[in-house]
Amino acid sequence: MKQVRFVGLVALMLLVSMAMVYAGGGQEAATGDDYKLVLRLSHVFNPAEQLSKSMDLVAERIYERTDGAIEIQTFPQAQLPAYKEGVEQVVRGANFISVEDPSFIGDYVPDMKALYAPMMYESFDEYVALTKTDLVQDMIARAEEQGIKILTLDYIYGFRNIITREPVTTPQDLSGKQIRVPGTDLYINTLNYMGAIANPLPWGETLSAVQQGVVDGLEGSEFTNIGNRVYETGATHVGLSRHILGTCGVYINIDVWNGIPENYRNIIEEEFLKGAVEGTQILSDNHAAVVAELESHGVTFHEVDGEAFRARLAPMYQEQSGMTPGVFQAVFAELDAMRR
């Protein structure tokens, strides 16, 4: 009888330990040498875009350097929850990495919208230098209080310009035109102030909306244009507004992050930072060639009346609800200091 009771106790203990190991949805093994974590990384970019390629390369390098302990599965083109919903997955504590622009973190740290405001940057380098300042590092710390670990903010996909069927060079040219934007207030307000009628759509619906005339155009970088063959929609005029610098951060839940052994955390952070530096350099090196390739597809580029657009955008630099008074002035002061 005792023998039966002992076997039953061992079986029960085995079941309990298995339940604990798989508490993370079957994606975590116990800590120690047999530690294994599967993270799903979601973004909206086309596999042909550099940001997509960078994510795949970083995931591969992390897998190799951790001997398979950290497996990051990448899902491009919003195959998994993306945009606001992707960040919500992070906040809810999923084994999930969201790669979105900082305006999507603005819901949790309103000051982040000041990082992504229109007509702020003259170069990629300025933005990257700004993310290293105490001002932005404090925003990053506040994101952690909201449950979001920001691994980096330094992924860049280019200055966003106006892409339309007809040339746009002034705010008047945008009057009455429906322009597709991503679905955050920051984009919507920016294009409305620039003179357009902002029409928020997920990227996956954008090209068909342009082709069918549901919208008159969109705004995006040359890398977005070439990576998605936007020019095939008939929107072959690019107004060089450079109104927003398209950047992305890499976000993971703070508790999921802290649950990863430190040696693996160091590798993950190193590789995402390295991937951002490499990816941005590739964009800088390739921009001229991408412009030439777009021109070979019939795209024409137009200088715009930057001052007229800048004047329209003045209300964008008023703190919105939840933002720290003076945060825009603090950002401008950092940028002015860089330009001296």
Binding site for ligand X3X (CB under 6 A): 44-46, 49, 100-101, 104, 157, 182, 203, 220, 224, 228, 246, 248
CB 49, min distance to ligand X3X, A: 6
Which residue of this chain has its Cβ atom nearest to ligand X3X in the complex?
A: 224
Asked if residues 207 and 228 have their Cβ atoms less than 8 Å apart, the reply is yes
Q: Pull the structure tokens for residue 27.
A: 């994606």
CB 231, min distance to ligand X3X, A: 14
CB 201, min distance to ligand X3X, A: 8
Nearer of residues 101 and 173 to ligand X3X, judged by Cβ: 101
Residue 253 has phi, psi (to 5 degrees) of -65, 140
Half-sphere exposure of 149 (CA within 13 A, CB side): 19
Nearer of residues 203 and 231 to ligand X3X, judged by Cβ: 203
What is the Cα–Cα distance from 163 to 234, expressed in whole angstroms?
10
CB 93, min distance to ligand X3X, A: 21
Asked if residues 227 and 48 have their Cβ atoms less than 8 Å apart, the reply is yes
Q: Give which of 285, 223, 227 is closest to 47, Cα–Cα.
A: 227
Nearer of residues 139 and 191 to ligand X3X, judged by Cβ: 191
What is the Cα–Cα distance from 253 to 92, expressed in whole angstroms?
8
CB 82, min distance to ligand X3X, A: 8
CB 229, min distance to ligand X3X, A: 11
CB 269, min distance to ligand X3X, A: 21
List all residues 6 or more positions away from 176 whose beta carbon is below 8 Å from its beta carbon.
197
Q: Which residue has the tokens 């300042």?
A: 133
Measured CA angle at 115 (ends 230, 98), to 5 deg: 60
What is the Cα–Cα distance from 265 to 65, expressed in whole angstroms?
11
Nearer of residues 110 and 246 to ligand X3X, judged by Cβ: 246
CB 219, min distance to ligand X3X, A: 8
Asked if residues 178 and 216 have their Cβ atoms less than 8 Å apart, the reply is yes
Asked if residues 238 and 225 have their Cβ atoms less than 8 Å apart, the reply is yes
Nearer of residues 168 and 260 to ligand X3X, judged by Cβ: 168
Nearer of residues 116 and 328 to ligand X3X, judged by Cβ: 116
List all residues 6 or more positions away from 208 whose beta carbon is below 8 Å from its beta carbon.
214
Nearer of residues 193 and 203 to ligand X3X, judged by Cβ: 203
Q: Pull the structure tokens for residue 251.
A: 């976000």
Nearer of residues 100 and 173 to ligand X3X, judged by Cβ: 100
Half-sphere exposure of 148 (CA within 13 A, CB side): 29
